Amino acid sequence: MSGRKRKIQSKSEHIPAKVLNKLKKTSNVNEIEQSHYFIKNDPKLKLGEDFFKQPCITLAKAFLGKVLVRRRADGVELRGKIVETEAYLGGEDRASHSAGGKCTQRNTAMFMKPGTIYVYPIYGIYLCMNVSSEGEGAAVLLRSLEPVQGQSNMRQLRTAKRKDGARQLKDKELCNGPSKLCQALDVPRCFDRRDLASDPEVWLERDANADQDDVSNIVSAPRIGIESHGEWAKKPLRYYILGHPCVSVRNKEAERMIESELMTNHSD
């Protein structure tokens, strides 16, 4: 962390003091300077439509470690690394909104081309964000993110939805749930049916600091909140990065299994 901070400070030395002082009064310049994404923002990192053309389970795992970017109307960019997803397989999946192959006004995005955003309300006040994959009616729920840029903005957006006097949220709590990440990244209902591969306000990137595209140590566990759907409630279609603090709900049994596998592979 200290090495990264020194690097960023050296960049700011090239900005005239008068300009820096003005920026500090009008924007979150300190936060931007602390973000490695401010320096490494590269159009080549953006993922195009080919990335989304994958079977649902494959895409749900491929999302892990990728960065969801939200550019707000004022130009501020919020970024969060995806650390947890759930796969919904389409017509055969009894827990899916598209169960039985039924296409409705609400779930139309699930039947559109891979990479289409599906935003739907829960409990009448919260939103969840999904992305369609290959397979009719199949989509991936984005369940948790690690905040990596724009934390102060995220905190303000989350606080606006909370009761007065509530304690201040820790960074790891800003996006550790499907509705929380929609609040923190200001994902509105109107994003439904937009194309994540081409939209100017929300898109997906590779992690500029990752050594490789694929994340290892992926935990597979049952999905959350679908207990009434029989055998489908038990299928391990939730995926998250082992040991990550921003995961919404840990499954210790599933973690013990993968840890055992890792130890066996290491001993071999």
Read off the tokens for 122. Answer: 């829960």
Secondary structure (3-state) at 177:
coil
The rounded distance, in Å, linking the Cα atoms of 151 and 157 is: 10
Q: What is the model's pLDDT at position 91?
A: 96
Nearest-Å Rg of the Cα atoms of the chain is 19
Low-confidence residues in the chain, pLDDT < 50: 1-39
How many Å from the N-terminal Cα to the C-terminal Cα in the chain? 34
How does pLDDT run across 101-122, given as a tens digit for each residue?
A: 999 999 999 999 999 999 999 9
231: phi then psi, degrees, rounded to nearest 5: -65, -25
How far, in Å, are 17, 29, 133, 262 from residue 177 at the CA level? 40, 28, 21, 27
**Which one, of 173, 178, 259, lies nearest residue 224 by Cα?**
178
251: phi then psi, degrees, rounded to nearest 5: -115, 100
**Which one, of 95, 132, 51, 115, lies nearest residue 237 by Cα?**
95
Q: What is the model's pLDDT at position 211?
A: 74
Cite the DSSP H helix spans in the chain. Answer: 2-12, 17-26, 29-33, 36-40, 49-52, 56-62, 151-159, 178-184, 252-267
Q: What is the model's pLDDT at position 222?
A: 98
Q: What is the model's pLDDT at position 40?
A: 53
**Which one, of 222, 79, 204, 53, lies nearest residue 132 by Cα?**
53
| 57 residue type, one letter | I
Q: What is the model's pLDDT at position 170?
A: 95
How many CB atoms are located within 10 Å of the residue 41 CB? 15
Q: Are strands 117-122 and 77-88 parallel, antiparallel or unpaired?
A: unpaired
The rounded distance, in Å, linking the Cα atoms of 42 and 20 is: 23
Q: What is the model's pLDDT at position 163?
A: 77
Strands (E), the chain: 67-71, 77-88, 117-122, 126-132, 139-149, 202-205, 218-221, 238-241
- pTM assigned to the model: 0.83
| 112 residue type, one letter | M
How many CB atoms are located within 10 Å of the residue 212 CB? 9
